Amino acid sequence: MAIETRPLHPHIGAEMIGIDARRPLTPAEVAAVEAGMDRHAVLVLPRQDIDDEQQLAFSRNFGPLEEGANSTVRANELRLAPAFADVSNLDKDGARLARDNKRRMASLGNRLWHSDASFRAVPARYSLLSGRIVTTDAGNTEFADMRAAYDALDAGTKAEVEGLICEHSLIYSRQQLGFTEFLPDERVSMRPVLQRLVRTHPVTGAKSLYLSAHIGAVVGWPRPEAMAFVRDLMEHATQAQFVYVHRWTKHDLVIWDNRQTMHRVRRFDDLNIVRDMRRTTTRSDGPTVAQQAA
């Protein structure tokens, strides 16, 4: 089938038709998806009625899978295989999470603008989110183009951000929402990692701002000054002209490049409505800061 791509926004996001995620891809199809991702940073593949095995197999075309995204959930409470990030509001028995459920508290962090796994030394490349049961008039997912945001900075700010290194941790993003219950071993596994604030895309050479709710410090800066600056950059980067709003249709498979986008989910009535979204994630080539290689 011929592959067709239709942009959904002036900067970011396109719909791609002609790929069947249930079947093995040819090298040409993999290359077409990657080229689409390099260009549009977000691809929407509609009508992909896939099961978990098919999602895993499809995702592996785009790099090694990141495992353990649910590391704060005990293994016997997982609803999905460990290679999935369960971003549904369901427990392992299919019941909606209670208001004070710990996993629900943690997943509220997805309402803050972020880039997946920016708190890992080797952060994420692609995230692939399959809409199994979707919400229609709320629970949209929004994507911000961090290339366009970088390009729109004035020259002085570009020079200022160029060499900066930020600390990222899940603790920082959760603290923003007042979530402070961390077990001692979680504090160890969530130790901050360093990431460059300006990234260069390995294929296109495009520069982008690497921002995320997981940022809690800028190396060498007083913390309040750092956080005020990061807030300014966040506000700049998430202006409407840089944002594609995705309204879900059942069986959409949405792929985003975490190296050049941020995203967030919008509020919905998660105590009463079921939203079953399953994410697989692939790893990027390496750390964004050379020293972390060891």
The site for ligand OGA (CB under 6 A) is made up of 85, 87, 110, 116, 127, 129, 141, 263, 265, 277, 279
Could you tell which of ligand OGA, Mn ion, none binds residue 120, using a CB distance below 5 to 8 A set by kind? none
- Closer to Mn ion at the Cβ: 113 or 150? 113
Looking at the Cβ atoms of 85 and 226, the one nearer to ligand OGA is: 85
Q: Tell me the C-alpha distance between 93 and 235, whole Å.
A: 39
Tokens at residue 14, please?
A: 């396109």
The nearest distance, CB 199 to Mn ion, in angstroms, is 17
Distance CA 292, CA 270 (A): 38
Comparison of 144 and 153: residue with beta carbon closer to ligand OGA: 144
Binding status of residue 116 toward Mn ion by CB under 5 A? yes
141 binds, among ligand OGA, Mn ion, none (CB under 5 to 8 A by kind): ligand OGA
- Compute the least distance from the CB of residue 155 to Mn ion, in Å: 32
| Residue (116 or 167) nearer to ligand OGA, CB | 116
Nearest approach in angstroms of CB 85 to Mn ion is 8
- Per CB under 5 A, which region of 10-18, 39-47, 58-66, 116-124 contacts Mn ion? 116-124
With respect to Mn ion, which residue has the nearer C-beta, 128 or 233?
128
Quick check: 192 and 180 in contact, CB under 8 A?
A: no
At CA 27, angle to CA 26 and CA 30, rounded to 5? 90
Per-residue binding string, Mn ion, 67-96, x by CB under 5 A, is ------------------------------
Which of ligand OGA, Mn ion, none lies near 87, with the C-beta cut-off 5 to 8 A by kind?
A: ligand OGA
Residue nearer to Mn ion on the CB measure, 153 or 170: 170
257 counts as binding Mn ion under rule CB under 5 A: no
- C-beta of 167 vs 276, nearer to ligand OGA: 276
CB of residue 280 vs ligand OGA: minimum separation in angstroms? Answer: 10
Q: Which does 226 bind (CB under 5 to 8 A by kind): Mn ion, ligand OGA, none?
A: none
Contacts to Mn ion by CB under 5 A: 116
